[in-house]
Amino acid sequence: EAEVAQSPRYKITEKSQAVAFWCDPISGHATLYWYRQILGQGPELLVQFQDESVVDDSQLPKDRFSAERLKGVDSTLKIQPAELGDSAMYLCASSLAGAAGPYEQYFGPGTRLTVT
Amino acid sequence: AQSVTQLDSQVPVFEEAPVELRCNYSSSVSVYLFWYVQYPNQGLQLLLKYLSGSTLVKGINGFEAEFNKSQTSFHLRKPSVHISDTAEYFCAVSDVEETSGSRLTFGEGTQLTVNP
């Protein structure tokens, strides 16, 4: 069964350092989402891609966060510089796209980031 | 804007007992409704969804939920729980009018703990 892949699974970094997360969606899924899940809370959407285009990044802290999906397939989320408050689980999800939606979002296992 | 309130942060139950996890939502437009389950250090898995039609929807693992438009609720139920149902459960909504994809707004989660 196809799955969303994420790496690394765990990342420990010092504040002010740069960190990057990678996501490979299910093949054929045009829509890709990055969520942040703070411990004890529900996931919050950071950015949504349709193919290689950003369709929603209203909740992305753009002074330190960036996301790209250059070829419309895999995606990278970067934080620079990391702050203590960035400690969270970063989840990637993908779905089909089109007018016949909504389509189920399939989630990867996440990357747990700890900033020290 | 939409919001989701999960009324119980923790629900402890004994094995084979029935359980109800409560979810209320607020939205100015029609919504789709979802329940996801998250096991420790894993991503989210879709349990069930309400898009239209019958207000009682059945999902995986014996779970079901009922959409009540007048009470803006979508409570999750299972008649007899197992130890393996211990997990975090998230209620989520998306805007029916959303044209750029199925953006989800999540509640803060309910930790279900099934005790022997």
Closest CA to B92 of B10, B18, B35: B35
Query: Which among A41, A95, A107 has CB closest to B102?
Result: A95
Looking at residue A99, what is its pLDDT? 65
Quote the CA–CA distance of B74 and B21 in Å, as a whole number. Answer: 9
pLDDT band at A30 (very low <50, low <70, confident <90, very high): very high
pLDDT digits (tens, 9 = 90+) for A69-79: 988 899 999 99
pLDDT band at B98 (very low <50, low <70, confident <90, very high): low
Looking at residue B30, what is its pLDDT? 83
Query: Which among B36, B92, B102 has CB closest to A101?
Result: B102
* Chain A 30-69, residues with CB within 8 Å of chain B CB atoms: 31, 33, 40-45, 48, 50, 55-56
CA B19 to chain A, closest CA, distance in angstroms equals: 21
CA A98 to chain B, closest CA, distance in angstroms equals: 8
Looking at residue B2, what is its pLDDT? 84
Looking at residue A17, what is its pLDDT? 97
Q: Where are the beta strands (DSSP E) in chain A?
A: 5-7, 10-13, 19-24, 31-37, 44-50, 53-56, 65-68, 75-79, 88-95, 106-107, 111-115
pLDDT band at B99 (very low <50, low <70, confident <90, very high): low
Quote the CA–CA distance of A29 and B37 in Å, as a whole number. Answer: 22
pLDDT digits (tens, 9 = 90+) for A84-116: 999 999 999 999 877 667 788 999 999 999 999
pLDDT digits (tens, 9 = 90+) for B38-52: 998 788 999 999 988
Which chain A residue shows the shortest CA-CA distance from B105?
A44
Q: What percent of chain B has pLDDT over 90?
A: 76
Looking at residue A109, what is its pLDDT? 94
Q: Determine which of A11-15, A63-67, B28-32, B61-65 has the lowest per-residue pLDDT on average.
A: B28-32
| Arithmetic mean of pLDDT over chain A | 93
